[in-house]
């Protein structure tokens, strides 16, 4: 046993005390603590950053990012390796600032790893000798669905080691942080999660048993096919997520019959043919997001929201946004309002003869709808909009989830520089951002399927739509990012002016139906609920199961999903979203039925269907029109 006493019998410094001394020395000689005249920090750490360097200031990170930006796999695997390395630097600095705690956590991790490995091999030995054994409950993770992850002790050990290491790394990121949820902490957590996901053994050929088995079964053909798939994706500049040859807009997507009855430089307006003998007097006008194409609302007949509403007796009109090019770089956010819902409203009223319109804003379209309603409320003219629906839409951008990782001043400046050069933000940049929010589902699963297993991606309408993106006009997108995600100005009465009128959401008095999605990674449902507190009208809020897309596109005919509603009154009467949830009632099935029950009494009497188009706005062409087909 080591004796920590000197020859004189006096106790020397014990190991824990030595660690404490080391910790004090680190705190005194790193970062701001060491920034005294004549004594620069031995390891300079920017104040408030928690350790590490911003990528632009660290030559290693700068070089890593430049090399990766030039790599042909950059658009297939859009990870920010410089930020990942920086996140690891930050975590390492946090660990070293408290070595006693770091040592304890490392010892605990190694103990758990040893116990897990011992259990795996004990079970394998018992299975080999035919001895009775207690079935070991492995960790559940659908990435490890191949039978070898449970039957082969090597793969089982690899799986358990990876899952333990992942848990350790992400837990340390949380436990070494202070109590505040800072932007730095959110960024650290996000990029560490990207690293953890990337390092999963299923993502590598030699540690993926399903891929190795398939190579053996196909005599190497799957490996050759995987290389061909990779080269094809490199040529296309994107990761294939679905069989693009299986779909065509106007052929098997967006096929609900209708006509384009109006066109300007920014929108086409589609009027759909009625499917009932009598229709509700007040028409519906959809305002979809312009960061995607509208046909998410009219995918195929069996999951088309447009078709469902027509079958319930509603009149339906749809805005289809133009895919902007460099010539439209000066298109302003105000143009999206005046040439979008306001221009469309005039046409809808002329065709239907209805003074009122029930608008539906989806995602960014819901943000635009809120601004439009506030603009109309600030004027003295007539408001054509009646009962408004907001589908997973943000107005208060104080809580936006992991999307905030991509939005700060330096990143917006970088995007603005790109847009100055091109005139727009490229659709692939947006696609990469949203794919990273669900990297395991949208990136790594496809890398495994396409390249390691050598298979073609299966046809999937939602993923085809997801890959059929649009560009963002420079002026409008810069205004949107700065006044929403960066500065959250829409919730500050009068801070934003549109068309010379101050935007005050509190002046909105329309009846409102708002819906959020329980697992939405783009618009957290608690943020979608906030319109009930921001607007002055009564709000019915509905919480749907699933996520941003699947939660919204869930027809009753599927018999799937559930939703929560509160029958006790205005959603705005509750102080918080959590309080609303505690008093809500869970119901089985799609939220569409609850929505149409709310909407029908606000849609007037049943009347004979009006004709398609009018004298002033005759039909131009068949739906889905021209703009939606632009690439």
DSSP assignment of 528-544 equals HHTHHHHSSS-EEEEEE
Counting Cβ atoms within 10 Å, is residue 537 exposed (0-12), middle (13-18) or buried (19+)?
middle
Q: Is 363 a catalytic residue?
A: yes
Helices (H), 353-444: 364-378, 409-422, 427-436, 439
Q: Max CA-CA distance within the chain?
A: 109
Task: Kindly state the tokens that stand for 386.
Answer: 């009646």
DSSP assignment of 50-86 equals TSS--GGG-HHHHHHHHHHHTSTTTTTS---HHHHHH
Q: What is the C-alpha R_g of the chain? A: 28
Q: Which secondary structure element, helix H or strand E, spans residue 362, and what is its range?
A: strand 358-362
Q: Which secondary structure element, helix H or strand E, spans residue 587, and what is its range?
A: strand 585-588
Cα gap 239→456, rounded to integer Å: 12
Contact 201, 207 (CB under 8 A): yes
Cα–Cα separations (whole angstroms), residue 426 to 330, 579, 631: 16, 41, 11
Backbone dihedral angles phi then psi of residue 249, each to the nearest 5 degrees: -65, 130
Q: Which residue among the candidates 363, 439, 481, 505 is catalytic per the annotation?
A: 363
What angle (nearest 5°) sits at the alpha carbon of residue 170, between those of residues 165 and 173? 130
The DSSP code for 144 is G
Residues annotated catalytic, as ranges? 363
């Amino acid at each position: 046993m080591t004796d920590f006493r000197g020859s004189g019998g006096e106790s020397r410094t014990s190991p824990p005390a030595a660690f404490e001394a080391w910790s004090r020395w680190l705190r005194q000689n790193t970062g701001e603590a060491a920034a005294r005249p004549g004594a620069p920090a031995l390891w300079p750490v920017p104040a408030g950053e928690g350790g590490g360097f911003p990528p632009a200031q660290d030559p290693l990170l700068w070089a890593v990012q430049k090399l990766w930006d030039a790599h042909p796999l950059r658009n297939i695997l859009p990870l920010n390796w410089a930020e990942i390395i920086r996140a690891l630097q930050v975590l390492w600095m946090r660990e070293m600032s408290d070595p006693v705690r770091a040592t304890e956590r490392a010892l605990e991790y190694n103990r758990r790893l040893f116990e897990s490995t011992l259990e795996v091999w004990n079970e394998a030995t018992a299975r080999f000798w035919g001895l009775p054994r207690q079935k070991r409950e492995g960790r559940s993770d659908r990435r490890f669905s191949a039978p070898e992850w449970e039957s082969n002790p090597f793969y089982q050990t690899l799986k358990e080691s990876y899952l333990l290491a992942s848990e350790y790394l992400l837990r340390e990121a949380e436990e070494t942080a202070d109590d505040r949820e800072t932007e730095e902490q959110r960024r650290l957590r996000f990029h560490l999660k990207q690293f953890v996901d990337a390092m999963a053994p299923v993502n590598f050929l030699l540690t993926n048993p399903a891929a190795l088995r398939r190579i053996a079964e196909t005599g190497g053909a799957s490996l050759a096919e995987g290389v061909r798939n990779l080269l094809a994706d490199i040529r296309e500049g994107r990761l294939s997520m679905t069989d693009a040859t299986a779909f065509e807009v106007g052929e098997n997507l967006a096929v609900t019959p209708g006509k384009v009855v109006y066109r300007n430089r920014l929108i086409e307006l589609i009027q759909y043919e009625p499917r009932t003998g009598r229709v509700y007097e007040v028409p519906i006008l959809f305002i979809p997001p312009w960061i995607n194409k509208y046909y998410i609302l009219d995918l195929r007949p069996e999951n088309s929201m447009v078709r469902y509403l027509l079958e319930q007796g509603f009149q339906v009109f749809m805005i289809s946004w133009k895919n902007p090019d460099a010539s439209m770089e000066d298109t302003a956010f105000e143009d999206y309002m005046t040439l979008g819902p306001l221009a469309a409203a005039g046409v809808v009223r002329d065709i239907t003869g209805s003074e009122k319109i029930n608008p539906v804003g989806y995602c960014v379209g819901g943000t635009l709808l809120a601004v439009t309603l506030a603009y109309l409320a600030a004027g003295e003219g007539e408001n054509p909009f009646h009962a408004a629906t907001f589908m997973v839409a943000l107005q208060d951008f104080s809580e936006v989830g992991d999307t905030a990782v991509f939005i700060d001043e330096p990143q917006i400046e970088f995007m603005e520089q790109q847009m100055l050069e091109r005139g727009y933000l490229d659709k692939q940049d947006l696609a990469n951002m949203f794919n990273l929010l669900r990297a395991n589902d949208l990136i790594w699963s496809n890398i495994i399927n396409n390249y390691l297993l050598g298979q073609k991606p299966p046809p999937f309408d939602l993923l085809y739509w997801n890959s059929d993106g649009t560009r963002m006009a420079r002026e409008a997108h810069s205004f949107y990012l700065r006044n929403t995600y960066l500065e959250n100005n829409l919730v500050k009465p009068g801070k934003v002016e549109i068309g010379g009128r101050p935007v005050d959401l509190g002046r909105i008095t329309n009846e409102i139906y708002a819906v959020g999605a329980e697992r939405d990674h783009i618009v957290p449902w608690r943020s979608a609920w906030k319109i009930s507190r921001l607007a002055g009208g009564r709000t019915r809020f509905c919480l749907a199961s699933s996520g941003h897309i699947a939660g919204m596109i869930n027809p009753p005919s599927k018999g799937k999903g559930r939703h929560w509603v509160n029958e006790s009154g205005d959603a705005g009467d509750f102080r918080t979203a959590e309080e609303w949830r505690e008093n809500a009632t869970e119901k089985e099935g799609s939220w569409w039925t609850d929505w149409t029950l709310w909407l029908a009494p606000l849609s007037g009497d049943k009347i004979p269907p009006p004709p398609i188009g009018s004298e002033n706005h005759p039909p131009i062409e068949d739906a889905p029109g021209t703009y939606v087909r632009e690439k």
